[in-house]
Chain A
Amino acid sequence: MPESPVGDDIEIKNISKTFGEFTALKDVSLNVKQGERVVICGPSGSGKSTLIRCINGLESHEEGSITVDGIPLNHKTKSLEQIRSRVGMVFQQFNLFPHLTVLENITLGPIRSKRLTREQARERAMGYLERVKIPEQAHKYPRQLSGGQQQRVAIARSLCMEPKIILFDEPTSALDPEMISEVLDVMIELAETGMTMICVTHEMGFARRVADKMVFMDQGSIVEMAPPTKFFDSPDTNRCKTFLKQILHH
């Protein structure tokens, strides 16, 4: 297949990483096209979080290379800052800044690293708060919000940097069951806008609905990579079959 002229948003080539004795990633390669939506799943400890954390340099990889939007990732400050201003991230534990209001949480990045004025940032932030449907919470502190609302604020904080790519690291795993759907709804809407997304999640309904590509990881390697229909209906490997059976069982 010929390379598309736009090129890939993310190119991961043969990266490896170890934590002491433990091999977290073993020769992993993954390409993500512009606007593509990738869902990564796998048992815990399989390296899926580590993989996406390597993309914005929260973890450093030992071998191989990563290119994001044409910028090669190395651990020089310049390249990291360039990549991080193009890549948003949403965390399992939200990681909102507890001492700042919702609005301040969202505008801090744009004001400090995108050099927006306070008014521009505020206007932009309110737009994104509308999009995640909690504009009325703008002046509250994170502690005063429910988990689902906090995660939506975190999504708005990411979006307000206007990234090309957004990474989700198990965004619904820390939420009470009744709050999962409000977050997934926001993510589905986001997917429809054509944002490049990589999600580590076990929400298979969500995956089936939005993913262009499913990735199954086990023991630090990508074991299976396929479009969702093939992935769910006829996976090639036994490990993937067993895993799917386990999480779709109930």
Chain B
Amino acid sequence: MKKLLVLFFLTLFLSGCSENWGWYVVNPYNKSGWVNLKFLLSGYYFTLLLSFTSILISVAVGLLIALPGLSKNSWLRNFNRVYVEIVRSVPILVLILWVYYGLPPMTGLEINVFWAGVVALALSDSAFQAEIFRAGIQSIDKGQYEASHSISLNYRDTMRFVILPQAIRRILPALGNQLVYMLKMSSLVSVIGMQELTRKANELVVTEYRPLEIYTILVLEYLVLILVVSAGVRWLERRLKTDARV
């Protein structure tokens, strides 16, 4: 398996050096190459903006969906199940298309590409966030609720000051994974014309006819992004581990 991988990359590297490749399209040392490269890199702006906006919203919505799932009331619990099951079973790409093309005529609302992307990504992710929150909250010992009751805290204060601060520390690694997942899924929003990394690459391919080099750059762009974000998440986890509070 390892040998195969090495062979694969070796072939890729060697063929990259061969004359079949035209690296000039993204060569920073010639003028048009530099312009092209800047064009590709500028896609980071919307990839990041889209992903972070979506994750912030999906965390908030996920929490709101998770709480009824923990209720004693079976109607509230069912609401949580139905939401999670429905949202989870729609492919993200389908959701993006539906939000962008379906939602405006249905509701009469104008929605631009960016917010359509945010709504679709956040909606899809919120079901997963809800499950993560539910698991995190359920992992908190029953004694923490009892102690809160015994000092007469109401439900809101118990959640706000006792349960959620502990649950969030426990689910941070899972939230980090969701963030990485979101960064990758944001590439799908290119289909409705969002000018993020993938869309920029697609557009450049259409004008330059060098898909091999341009998509290779695209792969590298995502690779660097994901590696950096993952390292950040791991750093945060390590910091939390040495914390006396956890």
Which residues of chain A have a CB within 8 Å of any CB of chain B?
56-58, 77, 80-81, 84-85, 87-89, 91, 93, 95-100, 108-109, 112-114, 140-141, 143-144, 154, 157-158, 161
Contact = CB atoms under 8 A, between A and B. Distances in A.
Given A95-B143, A99-B166, A89 B150 contact: yes
Given A81-B152, A95-B144, A108 B245 contact: no
Q: Would you call the interface of chain B mostly helix, strand, loop, or mixed?
A: helix
A95 B147 contact: yes
Interface residues of B, number: 20
Given A98-B245, A99-B165, A84 B152 contact: yes
Nearest to A83: B152
A33 B162 CA distance: 34
B233 to A, nearest CB: 20
Contacts of A93: 143
B157 interface: yes
Contact of A112 (B141, B153, B246): B153
Interface string B149-182: 1111110010001100110010000000000000
A56 B154 contact: no
A68 B198 CA distance: 67
B150 A141 contact: no
Contacts of B143: 91, 93, 95
Interface of B: 141, 143-144, 146-147, 149-154, 157, 161-162, 165-166, 169, 244-246
A108 B151 contact: yes
Contacts of A158: 150-151
30 contacts: A56-B150, A58-B150, A84-B151, A87-B150, A89-B146, A89-B147, A89-B150, A91-B147, A91-B150, A95-B144, A95-B146, A97-B147, A97-B161, A98-B166, A98-B246, A99-B165, A99-B169, A108-B151, A108-B153, A108-B161, A108-B162, A109-B153, A112-B153, A113-B151, A140-B244, A141-B244, A143-B245, A154-B147, A157-B151, A158-B151
